[in-house]
Amino acid sequence: MISGNPKLISLEKYQSILTRSEELGLSGTLEVVKHQWVISDSESWLARIFLPWNRSPNESGNLSVKDDFHLALVMIRAGIAVTGYFHNGVMLDHKVFRAYMVRQKQGKSQIKYLKTKGKSRAGSRLRLGESELFFEEINERLQRYESDFPITTWGISCGMTLYPYFFASDTPPPFDKKQENLFSIPFHVQQPDFETLQAIHKKLTGVHLLLSEKGLEIFSQLEDRETSLENDDENW
């Protein structure tokens, strides 16, 4: 079982967890897909540690800063999206995209509505056109990042309903779904705007700890200065 919410910890605290794990003979492995360091005993995992995207672990879990790190992020919800490009932690470009995709009375996105009601009315056709342009403009921006910068890592947060439309756009994204340097953003994104882009980027450069109940017993004495991140466990 999992104990509590994910927590933000310092690099020093992370290092103390690694040291304690080594003292106890626990195993540590990297889950590449999630960029996550997992500490386990012979039975189950004890700690899952989401590592900073701008750092790489060696075989022992010790972190080193990635040189010349180029990060591009895209976050999409119905009617609003944001993209951002960062070089070595500095934001050099961002753009917020908006579209008339939501039916006013029902509060339902046009894409969801099309699954049940069709697209015969003028308002529906307008919203559908806005939706198509919405994804094309997002991908045009991402294509520009790809052509102008040597992107190290792509990060995405996209509602599941919108995911296939994003990849099927007439202007496709500059990556495919299973690309090795494409990662899912492991934090809940409610409103993808400029402020959210800044906040998510800050979280992606931190160390976040999730413990099992057994892991809590083992590492409890190392947790005194951790800070709980409310609601950030929704996508973990």
**What pLDDT sits at residue 230?**
43
Does the pLDDT value for residue 123 go beyond 50?
no
**What pLDDT sits at residue 107?**
47
Residue ranges of domains in the chain, CATH in brackets? 2-52+206-228 (3.30.160), 70-203 (3.30.420.60)
Q: Per-residue pLDDT tens for 55-95? A: 999 999 999 999 999 999 999 998 899 999 999 999 999 99
Q: Per-residue pLDDT tens for 181-230? A: 999 999 999 999 999 999 999 999 999 999 999 999 999 777 544 444 44
Average pLDDT, the chain: 86
**What pLDDT sits at residue 101?**
64
**What pLDDT sits at residue 130?**
73
Cα-only R_g, the chain: 20
Its pTM stands at 0.83
**What pLDDT sits at residue 5?**
73
